[in-house]
Amino acid sequence: MKPRIAVVILNWNGKKFLQDFLPSVIKNSEGAEIIVADNASSDDSVVFVQQYFPNIKIIQNETNSGFAGGYNEALAKVESDYFVLLNSDIEVTPGWIEPVIALMESDRSIAACQPKILSWHDKQQFEYAGAAGGFIDTFGYPFCRGRMFQTLETDEGQYNDIVEIFWATGACMFVRASVYSELNGLDDRFFAHMEEIDFCWRAKIRDYRIMYCPGSKVYHVGGGTLPKKSARKTFLNMRNNNIMMFKNLPPKRIVPVFILRLFLDGIASIKFLVDGGWSDFYAVIRAHWQFFALIPQLSRERKKRTITEVSNVYKGNVVHEYFLKGKRKFSDLNQNNFT
């Protein structure tokens, strides 16, 4: 029996993206149920879908609880074997679903998988949010094959191998529904940014695998909700990264990692200040205060879990290697440092 697949597009005031990209999803997703989950939009997104795509199921969330809360609320109402979390600003290609599902069906230990993510603006270039699969370094800094910080590689087939990764991008993430339920979905506290990395980390702690499947390819506009340079984004990334690290680091690593992270985050805040980014400087301060306030709650949660070391962490500091050593590509990193 063929597995049930639900492609769920979370929308918030994204009528333009639905106009531009929903037709490609409908055309290229034969056999899958397509759902638009609306996060209490104030534009006429819902009316637009109802009028022009009457066969598309719409789930209307009561409030805008962000990416994490929005998907949790919507997916609780979806019955499927696989969820495909798909950003509204993504153009999918013919046959984008089949290779990923075939890979996941071949191995029950695979919890999540992502396709190759290329830029919609430059279709030969990898896109920031996911590229060819995500990793983190030993201090929690995320990066991708095909994207190191702001450096994006041209796709020349160098990442056409099926590989295990650390995290799959939430922009286009295939998830086994049973695992999503087992892990209680995404962490609502994140609102947006890094919730998918936290989810994948928690899955890996339970011995699930996260994969990259280059046989599937999509094109991502990016920056559809928050621009790349945004104090709000700075706040969410800083706060959520600290929450994620505190939740998932093995006990022996928490103190040494956070000592260095506080130092590095402090340097980042000073750089924002020197560059005139007062709002970003304040965002870093607020992010840390909110994180510190959550530590008692997070500590209680840690006591209820078994937390172990996981694979595919880069045993180095990509900040140091990128900014001081000039290592701009994934291939420049010492591959023996991945464990």
For the stretch 181-197, pLDDT in tens is 999 999 999 999 999 99
Quick one: pLDDT band at residue 223, thresholds 50, 70, 90? low
The pLDDT value given to residue 275: 87
Rounded-to-integer distance, Cα 80 and Cα 97, Å: 15
How high does pLDDT run on average in the chain?
95
* Partners of residue 218 on adjacent β-strands: 92, 117
Which comes out higher in pLDDT, residue 77 or 268? Answer: 77
Mean of pLDDT values over 8-12: 98
Mean of pLDDT values over 43-66: 96
Mean of pLDDT values over 252-279: 90
Quick one: pLDDT band at residue 89, thresholds 50, 70, 90? very high
Residue 21 has pLDDT above 70, yes or no: yes
Nearest to 58 by CA among 33, 24, 82: 33
Nearest to 18 by CA among 89, 106, 74, 73: 89
Mean of pLDDT values over 149-168: 97
Longest distance between any two alpha carbons in the chain, whole Å:
60
The pLDDT value given to residue 105: 98
The pLDDT value given to residue 323: 92
Which comes out higher in pLDDT, residue 48 or 260? Answer: 48
Sign of CA dihedral 35, 22, 17, 103: positive
Contacts of 97 (CB under 8 A, 6+ apart): 5, 7, 28, 29, 31, 32, 84, 216
- Contact between residue 316 and residue 138 where contact means Cβ atoms under 8 Å apart: yes
Quick one: pLDDT band at residue 228, thresholds 50, 70, 90? low
For the stretch 305-316, pLDDT in tens is 999 999 999 999
Residue 99 has pLDDT above 70, yes or no: yes
The pLDDT value given to residue 334: 94
Instruction: Render 242-285 in DSSP notation, one character per residue.
Output: HHHHHHHS-HHHHHHHHHHHHHHHHHHHHHHHHTT-HHHHHHHH
Rounded-to-integer distance, Cα 250 and Cα 96, Å: 36
| Cα 111-115-121 angle, rounded to 5 deg | 145
Which comes out higher in pLDDT, residue 227 or 318? Answer: 318
The pLDDT value given to residue 229: 66
The pLDDT value given to residue 276: 86
Burial 202-221 (b: 16+ CB within 10 A, else e): bbbbeebbbbbbbebbbbbb
Mean of pLDDT values over 242-268: 93
The pLDDT value given to residue 167: 98
For the stretch 133-152, pLDDT in tens is 999 999 999 999 999 999 99
